[in-house]
Amino acid sequence: MQNGFIDTLNVTHKVQYKRPKKNINGVLLLDKPLGFSSNQALQKIKWLLQAAKAGHTGTLDPLATGLLPLCFGEATKFAHYLTDADKTYVATLKLGVTTTTGDAEGEVLAQQAVNVNQKQFEAACKQFIGEISQVPPMYSALKHEGKALYEYARAGVEIERKARLVHIHAIQVNSFQADEAKITVTCSKGTYIRTLAEDIGAVLGCGAHLIGLRRTATAHYNIVQAVTLAQFEAMPAEQRAALLLPEDSAVQHLPSIQLDEDSSFYLQKGQAVWQSGQIPQGLLRLYNEQQQFLGLGEVQSDGKIAPKRLIVHKEVE
């Protein structure tokens, strides 16, 4: 009886002090710290904001740092546009050494002498500009039969992976010294910089692996706009909320139109609407006469604008 009474008190205590969740909406640009997985960083920020709903927009390995856009509330409806966007990385390569993981976390597989100059290195990098084929690494979060590849790798099991096409838009050599080089890579989604480092090393004949990686841009967002986790933790609650960018910042690449009052009303009821004037084809950002973002719509074959992904406007609790 006494134990039951104590248990009841404990449950009541937990419920009483449970942090309330808020309807937080917007995009936070986080400079992810070293040693945190993308999900760990997300959960930490979500807890600090007391946000009800959140998601990140493209995994960064724990050994990587840099720009990680986090979407909250209604902004999560547009997160995939950022996941699918081009990204820019600054990568540091160690020449002459290959590892089991393609980065500094793995065990050394082989070591070779490096007899490469900067011109040869730049020439090797140029071979990878454009559309290339990459085999995803075993140490990755890609799933096979519901399990991440890195789980198989840690168990010593090799899974056959299909090569896939990615696009390297640009590679700039920032520095080159003996057996270490730093490059800036702008690429499509799904590009593995670890694999790129290994492939550059293979072309040079000496091998290579990644010893540093920092994401500096995702779509139109840049690392200079980002806040560090330490900075965010040190801020008062109202200052944290003020850092959130609006939901439509995630889809700035899409054309926009303003709807009149009637069209805005019926669109928000889920109906396709007419709008006078020249309307761009494809997906559109939609705004009402007060310049409030309503969400995304698409022009149908009959000329009407159909709602595709609408914002639900709620007050922050």
User: In Å, how far are 134, 187, 191, 253 from 167, measured between CA atoms?
Assistant: 10, 6, 8, 19
Catalytic residue check, 248:
no
- Calpha distance 286→298 (Å, rounded): 10
Of 184, 186, 192, 188, which Cα lies nearest the Cα of 163?
192
Catalytic pick among 61, 103, 199, 248 = 61
Residues marked active site are found at 61
